[in-house]
Amino acid sequence: MQLPAHPFGTDITAKDIAERLQKSPHWEDRYREIVRLSRQMPTLPEAFRTTENEIFGCENRVWIAHELTKQGQFHFVFESESRIVKGLLAIILSQCEGDSPQALVDKDLLAVFNDLGLAHHLSATRNSGLTAVAQAINNAASAALERA
């Protein structure tokens, strides 16, 4: 079974998301925009919602599935039971989709939340969950580099 396609990292870039969120002056407006992003995420098929793909340490259940293309680029699909979490995952996805393993190892996927002024609006458990997601992405990239 193949992972579903999505617009993040290609049609919807990290820059696009930053511009959308920066146009929203209030946290409530940004929150709504993040929920809108979640609606553009594909649903991760049940076959990929395994214990192996589940990220523990998150406030809500989160799964990450990935594949490394023949071109050496990662394709990720994330899933969460929470719309806001799924929207936050879309922000991360816009930064890591299509990257090489080395690019992912070198990238700080969480810096965007500070850059956008979102980090201080997130609970400690939500920040912890996002850190676990970033670590899982880094682990996948590191494992791909070791296999190369």
Annotated active-site positions, please?
Answer: 58
Encoded tokens for 119: 């980090």
